[in-house]
Amino acid sequence: MQIESTRLGTIEIDKDRIINFPQGIPGFLEEKQFVLIPMGEDNPFFFLHSVTNKDLSFIVIEPHIFFRDYELMLSEELIESLSIDKPEDVAIYTIVTIKDDIKKATTNLQAPIVVNAVKLVAKQYILNDSQYLTRQPLFPQKSNTDEVAVTNEASMSGSGAKEE
Amino acid sequence: MLVLSRKKNQAIRIGEDIEISILSIEGDTVKIGIEAPKKVSILRKELIEEVADANRESAGATVDLKDFKLDK
């Protein structure tokens, strides 16, 4: 089927890949159906695009690509409400926030989108007491540019830090 | 909205299986205890608003990422 997208124009989507968010998404509770659209080959970003609202798409990533140690415990209630049968059925995405500069992009590790990839039901699951941030920088600031790295080095030697 | 006054160690019941007790009051901070079935989601409201704000910002992003490649 085809959907309209302000960002992408008219796009063809597979209606068997529509993901249902029975409770919507915080800030957009009336939006219940989305599709994942990869931005490109070797590109870690996806659009999570509303099926019914052409203006609405989020930028999401698979958090493990950026944060290898990222882990979360799914509550029994979540497992039940998404009808999850086994761990391999679960896919996790996190929403990315970008103002103007991609280097300053952040992602919400405290409220991952948990998807039952078999039954195509999902929820943005807010972790209550989380060690993770709602705005975790995607890219470590010091490796952004040489200039920033130099500044870091200078401040480290100034503070008496030893070289590794 | 229903408004009730409660003192320390008093509680209220909501429905059959939710109980909210006032554990302590210090200055402008009230510590409350909540007993509720597991299926009831309990979250600090400001956290939900923070998530909604981040979501709205993500939806409003205008940066073009289609040529982005991850450095391996």
Encode pLDDT of A63-106 as tens digits: 999 999 999 999 988 999 999 999 999 999 999 999 888 889 99
Query: Is B55 close to A128, i.e. CB distance below 8 A?
Result: no
Question: pLDDT tens across A94-121, in order?
Answer: 999 998 888 899 999 999 999 999 999 9
B1 contacts chain A (CB < 8 A): no
**pLDDT for position B39:** 81
Mean pLDDT lowest for which of A26-30, A85-89, A129-133, A147-151? A147-151
Nearest CA to A112 among A83, A141, A72? A72
Determine contact: B69 vs chain A, CB below 8 A: yes
Q: Indicate the residue of B56, B61, B69 with minimum beta-carbon distance to A98.
A: B61
Q: Is the pLDDT of residue B10 over 80?
A: yes
Is the pLDDT reported for residue B9 higher than 60?
yes
Paired tokens of A69: 């140690």
Please state the CATH superfamily assignment of the domain spanning residues A2-157 in this structure.
BH3618-like (2.30.290.10)
Cβ(B32)–Cβ(A6) under 8 Å? no
CB contact under 8 A, A126 and B66: no
**What ipTM does the predicted assembly reach?**
0.80
d(CA A144, CA A125) in angstroms, rounded, equals 30
User: What pLDDT, on a 0 to 100 scale, did the predictor assign at position A142?
Assistant: 63
What pLDDT, on the 0 to 100 scale, is given for residue B45? 94
Domain boundaries, chain A: 2-157
First to last CA, chain B: 55
Residue type, A84: I
What size, in residues, is chain A?
164
pLDDT of residue A144: 45
pLDDT at position A14 is 92
Q: Which of B43, B47, B65, B71 to mutate to test the interface with A (most CBs of A within 10 A)?
A: B65
Q: How far apart are CA A58 and CA A47, in angstroms?
A: 6
Whole-angstrom Cα distance, residue A38 to residue B68?
12
**Contact (Cβ atoms closer than 8 angstroms) between residue A112 and residue A94:** yes
Residues of A in contact with B43 (CB under 8 A): 126, 128
pLDDT, tens digit, 9 for 90 and up, residues B11-67 = 999 999 999 999 999 999 999 999 999 888 899 999 999 999 999 999 988 888 888
* Dihedral angle of Cα A46, A50, A54, A58, to the nearest 10 degrees: -40
Residues of chain A positioned with their CB less than 8 A from the CB of B66? 39-40, 43
Task: Say if the Cβ atoms of B58 and A102 lie within 8 Å.
Answer: no
Q: Does B53 lie at the interface with A, CB-CB under 8 angstroms?
A: yes
Which residues on adjacent β-strands are paired with residue A28?
Answer: A25
Q: Can you give the C-alpha Rg of chain A in angstroms?
A: 19
Nearest to A26 among B48, B57, B61 (CB): B48
Residues of B in contact with A123 (CB under 8 A): none
pLDDT at A50 over 70: yes
Q: How many CB pairs under 8 A join A and B?
A: 93
Token pair listed for A156: 């480290």
Q: What is the pLDDT of residue B6?
A: 95
Q: Are the beta carbons of A126 and B51 separated by less than 8 Å? A: yes
Residue A155 confidence (pLDDT) above 80: no
Q: What stretches of chain B show up as alpha helix (H) in DSSP? A: 45-59
CA distance A46 to A58: 8
As a whole number of angstroms, the distance between CA A154 and CA A159 comes to 9
